[in-house]
Structure 1
Amino acid sequence: MRLVILGGGESGVGTAILGKKKGYDVFVSDFGKIKGNYKEVLIINEIAWEEEKHTEDLILNADVVMKSPGIPDKSPIIKKLLAKGIPVLSEIEFAAPFTDATIIGITGSNGKTTTTMLTYHLLKSAGLNVGLGGNIGKSFAWQVAENKYDSYVLELSSFQLDGIVNFKPHIAIITNISPDHLDRYDYKYENYIDSKFRITMNQSEEDYLIYDADDEAIAEWFKTHTTKAKLIPFSLTKTFSEGAYIKNNKMEISINQEEFTMDTEHIALEGKHNMKNAMAATSVAKLMQIRKSTIRESLSNFQGVEHRLEKVLKIQNVQYINDSKATNVNATFFALDSMNTPTVWIVGGVDKGNDYNELMSLVREKVKAIICLGVDNKKIIDVFGNVVDMMIEVDNMNDAVRMAQRLSEKGDTVLLSPACASFDLFENYEDRGNQFKQAVKNL
Structure 2
Amino acid sequence: MRLVVLGGGESGVGTAILGKKQGYDVFVSDFGKIQGSYKEVLIINGIAWEEGKHTEELILNADVVMKSPGIPDKSPIVKQIKEKGVSVISEIEFAAPFTEATTIGITGSNGKTTTTMLTYHLLKAAGLNVGLAGNIGKSFAWQVAENKYDIYVIELSSFQLDGIINYKPHIAIITNISPDHLDRYNYKYQNYIDSKFRVTMNQTEEDFLIYDYNDEAITEWLNKNNTKAKLIPFSLTDEFNEGAYIKNNKMEVKINHEEFAMDTEHIALEGKHNLKNAMAATSVARILQIRKETIRESLSNFQGVEHRLEKVLKIQNVQYINDSKATNVNSVFFALDSMTTPTVWIVGGVDKGNDYNELMSLVREKVKAIICLGVDNKKIIDVFGGVVDMMVEVDNMTDAVRMAQRLTEKGDTVLLSPACASFDLFESYEDRGRQFKQAVKNL
Q: TM-score range by the shorter chain?
A: over 0.9
Is 1:103 equivalent to 2:114 in the alignment? no
SS of the residue aligned with 2:411? coil
Correspondence for 2:57: 57
Correspondence for 1:287: 287
Correspondence for 1:371: 371
| Offset, 1:406 | 0.6
Distance 1:399 1:86 in 2: 50
| Offset, 1:223 | 1.7
1:240-259 aligned within 5 A: 240-259=240-259
Correspondence for 1:262: 262
SS of the residue aligned with 1:326? coil
SS of the residue aligned with 2:127? coil
| Offset, 1:181 | 0.3
* Partner amino acid, structure 2, of 1:247: K
- Report the TM-score when normalising by structure 2: 1.00
1:182-331 aligned within 5 A: 182-331=182-331
SS of the residue aligned with 1:79? helix
Distance 1:391 1:69 in 2: 36
Distance 2:94 2:419 in 1: 33
The number of residues matched between the two structures is 443
Distance 1:128 1:299 in 2: 17
* Partner amino acid, structure 1, of 2:191: N
* Partner amino acid, structure 1, of 2:74: K
Is 1:427 equivalent to 2:427 in the alignment? yes
| Offset, 1:136 | 1.0
Correspondence for 2:91: 91
| Offset, 1:411 | 0.5
1:129-148 aligned within 5 A: 129-148=129-148
* Partner amino acid, structure 2, of 1:177: I
Distance 1:49 1:257 in 2: 54
1:330-409 aligned within 5 A: 330-409=330-409
SS of the residue aligned with 2:65? strand
Correspondence for 1:157: 157
SS of the residue aligned with 2:286? helix
Distance 1:156 1:278 in 2: 18
| Partner deviation per Cα, 1:142-199 (whole Å, 9 max, x = no partner) | 0000000000000000000000000000000000000000000010000000000000
Distance 1:204 1:250 in 2: 32
Correspondence for 1:75: 75
Distance 1:63 1:380 in 2: 47
Distance 1:164 1:37 in 2: 28
SS of the residue aligned with 2:311? strand
Correspondence for 1:15: 15
Identity %: 87
SS of the residue aligned with 1:173? strand
| Offset, 1:123 | 0.3
* Partner amino acid, structure 2, of 1:417: S
Correspondence for 2:43: 43
| Offset, 1:357 | 0.3
SS of the residue aligned with 1:204? coil
| Offset, 1:300 | 0.2
- Report the TM-score when normalising by structure 1: 1.00
Correspondence for 1:442: 442
| Offset, 1:316 | 0.4
| Offset, 1:135 | 1.2
Distance 1:145 1:223 in 2: 39
Distance 1:367 1:83 in 2: 51
Distance 1:224 1:299 in 2: 35
Distance 2:222 2:5 in 1: 36
Distance 2:424 2:25 in 1: 38
| Offset, 1:74 | 0.6
SS of the residue aligned with 2:26? strand
Correspondence for 2:118: 118
Distance 1:398 1:84 in 2: 50
Q: Which runs of 4+ in 1 moved over 3 A?
A: none
* Partner amino acid, structure 2, of 1:31: F
Distance 2:205 2:413 in 1: 48
Distance 1:51 1:3 in 2: 17
Unaligned runs of 5+ in 1: none
RMSD: 0.4
Distance 2:243 2:418 in 1: 33
Distance 2:148 2:219 in 1: 38
Distance 1:35 1:371 in 2: 33
SS of the residue aligned with 1:176? coil
Distance 1:324 1:79 in 2: 34
| Offset, 1:272 | 0.4
Distance 1:257 1:220 in 2: 27
Distance 2:422 2:175 in 1: 23
Unaligned runs of 5+ in 2: none
Correspondence for 1:5: 5
